Structure 1
Amino acid sequence: MPAFSVSSRTIFCVLLTLAVSAAGGGIAMLLGLPAGWLMGGALAVTIAAMAGLPMILPDGLRNVVFVLIGMSMGASVAPDSLQLLGSWPISLAALAIELVIIVAMTGWMLTKVFKLDPGTAYLSSFPGHLSFVMGIAATGIGNARQIVIIQVIRILMLTIAVPIGAVFLPIDHFATEMASEFLSPLQLVLLAAVCIAAGLVFMRLKVPAGMVLGAMAAATAAKLGGLYTEAMPTLLVVATFVLTGALIGSRFVGITRTEFMAAAKGGLIATAMTVSIVTVMALGVAQLVDMPFGQIWLGLSPGALEGMGALGIALGYDTAFIAAHHVIRLLLLSFAIPAVAIMVRRMVPQAQDGHN
């Protein structure tokens, strides 16, 4: 018998899980992958879990992750993001229509062709906000194992153009605007208290993923209401991603090769559909506005901002246009993801059974 008691073994397994997630996230960041701490952590823990290592995250720590995800989502909303809606009406309208088509068509395809449950299919179809999608999935809506495979494949495929552009074009790395002011410890404690309270209310009202959505709603309302303008501390955001990656990856304990391959095939087809829809929408907008097709495509693309921005700089496009559309896309997804989650839960109340 091992020398560990039950409690000490659990602590060891949790620390091992977090270490694997942090290591995977760090490697992904060094490789320049988008959402590196999250995606790398989730992949590393997934591989470790499928290899038979004891990857676990207790329920108590899981609830902490849910609150942190909600806080991070709300704090990342730009205070002036709503004002951007009137800047480029045609392309922004196309962006909204595009998101609806992508989610509807890829969600339908994953449900009908690959026989995924509605929760898994529609959360897998969202083009962006991976941490939020994973946070919702981690609460039991859909199969987090399949969702993370499909979403990671989407991200990897959409960012293939970035290293190619970096190799053949003389450009510097495009970095998103860094925050200069961060929430103080007192502000964090107060915001966390409000987010926890809102989360408990949402849970009491039986809102799907209540703790995540409640925390996000409270943090977003406070940010847009001008109660704070600072960003979440970088280390806390990184810790949130590492914890989320550990949570997602730990769900792959016992996954079968058949399950993995089914999700991977669905991810490839869903990504191809997404790129096709974006291209068609960009072609349509290009007929109505006087700007390069490539600039429109980069603005409507669901790829990472830093990657799309790098290509935009290299090609001489208006990066303000590209950045604004990505900000609005994320803002729209912030409202669309919980709305779809609630719709799926009402249509199929039992969809979460077996995925907790």
Structure 2
Amino acid sequence: MLKDLKQLALTLMVCLVVGSLFQLLHLPAPYLLGSLFGTWIAGKFIPVSLGELGVPRWFHTIVVLGLSTLIGATFNPEMIPKLSLWAGTVFAMLVTTVIATLAGYQYLHRVRGYERNLAFLCSLPGGQAEVIALSRDLVDKDYVVAFCHLVRVVIVVGMIPLLLALTQGRDGVAASYEVTAQLPGILELPPLTLFEFLGIGIGGYFIAKWLRIPIPHLLGPLILSALVHLTGWVEVPRINEFILLAQITIGGGVGAKLSKIDSKELLSYFWDAITNAVIVVSIYCAVALTIGWLGDLGLMKMVLGFIPGGIYEVTVLALIFGFDVAFVAFHHTVRVLLIFLTLPLFASRMKSSR
């Protein structure tokens, strides 16, 4: 535990320093991007005697409990009629998931000569932790699977804030700073609201564990929070300090993983991972932009709802830039659930083919 706390303190310090610098430079999503690039670069140069950078799994889980609660809090009674309207875009997103996975698989298997199981696992657009965990039993080069998923997330996390800045200009970035600054702080909230926030997060997790719901630390608090907010029983606002903590935890975690990768060993896979990620992400973006344009649904809202950059990362960006968080979270949750629920079926077939 002491080792974890030392690692966490060092990581948070780097994230806060670089994030603050990015904020002074008025860059988009400063603490998310600052944490990612700060830990990535610093992790390569920090002496071993000081320890290594990283976010312990238990701390990441705690942050996800809170983040899932805040995602669920974006649902409200006025949103119930919208759920049926989202059926069409959800279906389109699921079809896109199949197409993008097949396209990435064909590139890695047919063009680059990857064996079937490795190509498939590298191309799945989501369920990163579960896919990486399963890959240890299914392929010999599980580190390549982890690297491909990491590259995809980094591309999305780095691209989306810049894309938002380009499409919305300086006003869009300034507006995101205003949105964040106007969020209430912990000390401004009544004790009952804090109790509700903690109760939904912890209670949702244990209920999900009891009901054996997959990904309990994500889906438990999210579903419970959405239910109590849709009924109007509680109203938990987005909390300033927690949004900041979520940014540096997610960004710092990804950057720390990148810093630990042996550059020489993975150099031969670098362009494969980049190309595969670009293929998969481009297909999602193309479909999202087409639907957004034809249906006049908002181009960037559709991109955020479709793009496979990790549910935590993309949802935080939606929170920061003031987009429809419920729309974004709902689409990503359905995509991750599809992958999570079908993965055991594919895994059994992969084991029999080895």
Superposed, which structure 2 residues align to 1:67-78 within 5 Å? 67-78=65-76
Aligned to 1:58: 56
* Structure 1 residue 265 displacement after superposition: 2.5
Q: Distance in 2 between matches of 1:141 and 1:221?
A: 32
Aligned to 1:82: 80
Query: Is the 2:165–2:173 Cα contact (8 Å) retained in structure 1?
Result: no
Superposed, which structure 2 residues align to 1:34-49 within 5 Å? 34-49=28-43
Q: Distance in 2 between matches of 1:203 and 1:118?
A: 29
Q: Deviations over 1:145-200 (max 9, x none)?
A: 54343133135445555544566x99995448665697533332343234323313
Superposed, which structure 2 residues align to 1:328-343 within 5 Å? 328-343=327-342
Q: Distance in 1 between matches of 2:146 and 2:24?
A: 26
Query: Is the 1:154–1:268 Cα contact (8 Å) retained in structure 2?
Result: no
Aligned to 2:217: 211
Q: Distance in 2 between matches of 1:98 and 1:328?
A: 14
Aligned to 1:265: 275
1:274 to 272, 284, 289: 284
Structure 2: runs of 5 or more not aligned: 109-113, 136-144, 308-313
Q: Deviations over 1:208-266 (max 9, x none)?
A: 42222222222222222212123132112211222233333333353133255443232
Query: Is the 1:282–1:296 Cα contact (8 Å) retained in structure 2?
Result: yes
How many residue pairs get matched? Answer: 309
Q: Distance in 2 between matches of 1:247 and 1:208?
A: 22
* Structure 1 residue 55 displacement after superposition: 1.0
Query: Is the 2:29–2:161 Cα contact (8 Å) retained in structure 1?
Result: no
CA, structure 1 residues 246+160, in 2 after alignment: closer, same or farther (shift >3 Å)? closer
* Structure 1 residue 141 displacement after superposition: 7.2
Q: Secondary structure at the match of 1:80?
A: helix
Q: Deviations over 1:117-147 (max 9, x none)?
A: 76664344xxxxxxxx77x669957866543
What is the one-letter code of the residue matched to 1:84?
K
Aligned to 1:127: none
Aligned to 2:141: none
Aligned to 2:235: 229
CA, structure 1 residues 78+244, in 2 after alignment: closer, same or farther (shift >3 Å)? farther
What is the one-letter code of the residue matched to 1:197?
G
Q: Distance in 2 between matches of 1:57 and 1:348?
A: 28
Superposed, which structure 2 residues align to 1:1-356 within 5 Å? 11-30=5-24, 34-51=28-45, 54-85=52-83, 95-114=89-108, 121-124=123-126, 140=133, 145-158=147-160, 160-164=162-166, 173-175=174-176, 184-204=190-210, 206-257=212-263, 258=266, 259-282=269-292, 285=294, 297-298=299-300, 300-302=302-304, 327-345=326-344, 347-348=346-347
After superposition, the CA RMSD in angstroms is 4.3
Query: Is the 1:138–1:247 Cα contact (8 Å) retained in structure 2?
Result: no
* Structure 1 residue 67 displacement after superposition: 1.8
Aligned to 1:3: none
Q: Deviations over 1:312-339 (max 9, x none)?
A: xxxxxxxxxx966x75343333344334
TM-score by length of 2: 0.67
Query: Is the 1:65–1:240 Cα contact (8 Å) retained in structure 2?
Result: yes
Query: Is the 2:301–2:328 Cα contact (8 Å) retained in structure 1?
Result: no
Q: Greater helix share, 1 or 2?
A: 2
* Structure 1 residue 95 displacement after superposition: 3.0
Q: Distance in 1 between matches of 2:11 and 2:44?
A: 13
Structure 1: runs of 5 or more not aligned: 1-6, 125-132, 309-321, 352-356
Q: Distance in 2 between matches of 1:227 and 1:204?
A: 23
Aligned to 2:311: none
CA, structure 1 residues 241+79, in 2 after alignment: closer, same or farther (shift >3 Å)? farther
